[in-house]
Amino acid sequence: MNTMTHRGYHARIEYDGDDELFFGRITGIQDVVGFHGDTVAELKAAFHDAVDDYIDACARIGKDPQKPYSGKVMFRVDPETHRAAAIAADLAGKSLNQWAEEVLARAAGQDNDAQVRKAS
């Protein structure tokens, strides 16, 4: 998967073979902010401009720009999975939240980045 990051905002990048251009959309927010470019350099500049313009436009109209993610995750799992995770967390000497954050970070390819950010 091809992605870009700027000022805490992320975008997934795709290529349209018919129009022969790269395009993307900021992910993780409900507002729709898209951009495109004919080259990677143009695409990168368009993404940076789109993020900056989004933040500036929100400021002009007195709206807080949406943040990509709040840090709160709510989801349902099978009760046996919940039980197994709670036991694994307890055995590791951690709260279920701490344990789950580490497991999710590893699964997302962040390894210990989340713990490093929390410590700083």
Q: What is the mean pLDDT of each run of 10 residues along the chain (120 residues)?
A: 90 95 94 96 97 97 88 90 94 94 91 48
Helical H runs in 12-112? 40-61, 79-91, 96-107
Q: What global pTM score does this model have?
A: 0.64
pLDDT, residue 43, reads: 97
pLDDT, residue 1, reads: 66
Cβ proximity of 26 and 10 under 8 Å: yes
